[in-house]
Amino acid sequence: MEGRDNITGGNSFPLLLLFHHLMPMYEIFFQKLREKVNLSTDEEELIKQHLTPKKLRKRQYLLQEGDVCKFIAFVEKGALRSYSVDEKGVERIIQFALEGWTISDLYSFLTSEPATYNIDALEDSELLLIGKAAHEELLATLPKYETWMRLQITGAYIAMQRRLTSIISLSLEERYASFTSIYPQIVQRVPQHMIASYMGLTPETLSRVRKKMTGK
């Protein structure tokens, strides 16, 4: 992002990070929640009582393959990824999650079966965790939470369907252009070799695609 500001003396991105740092914990969570459902102050307080704050250092695991996933994580600050590792040790990235997004191994969370994915932090991160017992209690006592969770799962399904359609229907150049258009923050904050993994490409192939698109 171009432009300078009076506080940092540099580009405006550090200023945005400063404003985010000053925002109280839970602020982004409830901001996103209010975009989907209308909550009273009492309802917000009830939900807050069921949330567990957690901080992760860069590269620290939130979940490891084989463990049972016991939470849904909401990202207040930072960036995470979920991924599997094949028999050759190659990482296959399934999802990225930035501020305002949720991340989990949903199958493991809902069934209590061992997780098939790892989740770790790409940056120092601050999370809000919803544990299984808290999730079940909120579903039972707060219909608006059930509505929000249903919308979250529906949104995840739509994103998966869009991703599969992209793989089947679009050229590599079209897929990368679509990805950069939908997720510009990921492109700015995540290494290209991880984006290649998410797209199912080698870093070399993605590099060729980007060079072709820029005409270099």
What pLDDT, on a 0 to 100 scale, did the predictor assign at position 215? 72
Closest CA to 135 of 154, 153, 110, 118: 110
R_g over Cα of the chain: 19
- Residue 41 CA to residue 62 CA, distance in Å, equals 30
Strands 125-131, 51-56: parallel, antiparallel or unpaired by DSSP?
antiparallel
Across 80-215, the runs of DSSP E, i.e. the strands, are 80-85, 91-97, 102-103, 118-121, 125-131
Share of the chain above pLDDT 70, in %: 88
pLDDT of 3 reads: 36
Secondary structure letter of residue 171 according to DSSP: -
Fold of 13-137: Jelly Rolls (2.60.120)
Per the document, the length of the chain is 216
pLDDT of residue 10: 39
pLDDT of residue 25: 78
In sequence order, what are the residues at sequence separation of 6 or more whose Cβ sits closer than 8 angstroms to the Cβ of residue 188?
A: none
pLDDT in the model for residue 135: 97
pLDDT of 123: 97
String of DSSP letters for 55-98: EE-TT-EEE-TTSBP-EEEEEEES-EEEEEE-TTS-EEEEEEE-
Please identify which residue in the block is written with the tokens 């404003």. 19
pLDDT at 11: 42
Q: What is the structure's pLDDT at 114?
A: 98
**Extents of the domains making up the chain:** 13-137
The pair phi, psi for residue 91, each rounded to 5°, is -80, 135
For the chain, 216 residues long, the average pLDDT of each consecutive 10-residue run is 33 43 74 94 95 97 98 97 94 96 95 97 97 96 95 90 91 94 94 95 95 80
Per-residue pLDDT, 24: 64
Distance (Å, rounded) from C-alpha 146 to C-alpha 53?
21
- Give the other-Cβ count within 10 Å of 149's Cβ: 17
